[in-house]
Structure 1
Amino acid sequence: MAHIDYYFATLSPYTYLCGTRPSEIAAAHGATLTYKPLDIMALFGRTGGTPPGERHPNRQAYRLQDMRRRAAILDLPINVKPAHWPTNGAPASYAIIAAQAEGGDVAKLVSAISTACWSGEKNIADDAVIRDCLKETGFDPDLADKGMLSSAETFASNLEDAVNAGVFGAPFFVVDSGEVFWGEDRLADLDAHLSGKI
């Protein structure tokens, strides 16, 4: 049975565009999947990346076009310049880590949180928004405050794990076969790899 580590940032538009597909692909191949939210800005600093706001204007302009096109292809609404971005992605990440430990549909929770940012014009650093996402996806809203120290430690260790695994962006998929896939637009490649085609 294959295993996938899914490294992502709660505030990433490409995490939003993934939706629940990583979970669906894993399930289709009988693979297990671990959600590993991380601090994307810290990852950029550790692996030679540049935060979006510090990139050359050409790169910034391309990013906005790419987000709009990918959303259209996937038939998803998106505000490429949401009201509450950038924001602190850690609180929502802590809730996801706690939810994963609790058990339940983490795919729906990750999707709900990223949707709140990129389509719902909500601040995913706000406790009320996080609690609403937990409730709407079948989790106890109190998970937002449960085990925060442990979740913070996991959040930090996810960054270290990511760097050690060769991760430099998000979303990023690391398969125990040694193959890695970067970006929402590489989900089809992940699917093909798990099928044994590549």
Structure 2
Amino acid sequence: MAHIDYYFSTLSPFACLAGDGLERIAVRHGADVTYKPLDIMALFARTGGVAPAERHPSRNAYRAQELDRQAKKRGMTLNLRPAHWPTNPAPSSYAIIAAQNAGGGDVGALVQSILRACWAEERDIAEDAVVRDCLERAGFDPAVADRGLLSGAETYAANLEEAVEAGVFGAPFYVVDSGQMFWGQDRLEDLDLHLAGKL
């Protein structure tokens, strides 16, 4: 059985655009997934990237066009200037880590719900009420967020270190136990082909 480490940020519009693509691919190939939310700004700093606010205007203009095109292509709603972005990604990330450890719900659905909250629903994913609502929608006990704070913080920091060591430099980023790596939601098709033995 293949294993996929999924590195992402709950602040990433491109992770939002991935939708449930990873989960459908994992089911199709019998692969299991470990969700590894991380601090994307720290990852950029560690791997030569630049935060959007510090990029040249031409890069940000292209990014806006590309986000709009990709959202239309997928039939998704995406607000290019969300009311609550950037915000603190730690609470939502800790909740994902805690939920994955606790079990009993759908982690993929939780990740998607949090990303939609930020990028389509104009909700602040740093707020406890928003995180709890996303947990409940995905079948988890909302209180799991309270119980997993310490381990969530430790794992969140460890995810960054693991990402740097694995060669990850952006989000979403998919690392297969075969050693193959795929960066961006637009590489999900390649991930699918790889797991099918065609790439």
TM-score scaled to structure 2, two decimals? 0.98
**What does residue 172 of structure 1 align with?**
173
**What does residue 85 of structure 1 align with?**
85
Q: Separation in 2 of the partners of 1:197 and 1:7?
A: 23
Q: Separation in 1 of the partners of 2:118 and 2:183?
A: 21
Q: Separation in 2 of the partners of 1:9 and 1:192?
A: 24
**What does residue 94 of structure 1 align with?**
94
Q: Separation in 2 of the partners of 1:39 and 1:182?
A: 16
Q: Separation in 2 of the partners of 1:13 and 1:177?
A: 27
2:162 pairs with 1:161: yes
**What does residue 141 of structure 1 align with?**
142
**What does residue 74 of structure 1 align with?**
74
**What does residue 195 of structure 1 align with?**
196
Q: Separation in 2 of the partners of 1:155 and 1:181?
A: 21
Other structure's SS at 2:135 match: helix
Q: Separation in 2 of the partners of 1:53 and 1:118?
A: 17
Tell me, which stretches of 5 or more residues in structure 2 are unaligned?
none
| Aligned-residue CA RMSD (Å) | 0.6
Task: Please list the CA deviations of residues 62-101 of structure 1 after superposition, one character each: whole Å capped at 9, or x if unmatched.
Answer: 1111111000000000101100001111110000000101
Q: Separation in 2 of the partners of 1:141 and 1:147?
A: 11
**What does residue 30 of structure 2 align with?**
30
Report matched runs for 1:3-82 at 5 Å.
3-82=3-82
- 2:95 touches 2:148 (CA, 8 Å); kept in 1? no
Q: Separation in 1 of the partners of 2:75 and 2:64?
A: 16
Stretches (4+) displaced over 4 A: none
| Identity percentage of aligned residues | 65
**What does residue 123 of structure 1 align with?**
124
- 1:106: how far off? 0.3
- 1:21: how far off? 1.4
Other structure's SS at 1:141 match: coil
Report matched runs for 1:108-119 at 5 Å.
108-119=109-120
Amino acid at match of 1:153: E
- 2:84 touches 2:122 (CA, 8 Å); kept in 1? yes
Q: Separation in 2 of the partners of 1:122 and 1:83?
A: 7
Task: Please list the CA deviations of residues 111-164 of structure 1 after superposition, one character each: whole Å capped at 9, or x if unmatched.
Answer: 000000000001100111001111111111111211211110000000000000
**What does residue 186 of structure 1 align with?**
187
Amino acid at match of 1:188: E
- 1:19 touches 1:107 (CA, 8 Å); kept in 2? no
Q: Separation in 1 of the partners of 2:151 and 2:118?
A: 25
- 1:102: how far off? 1.2
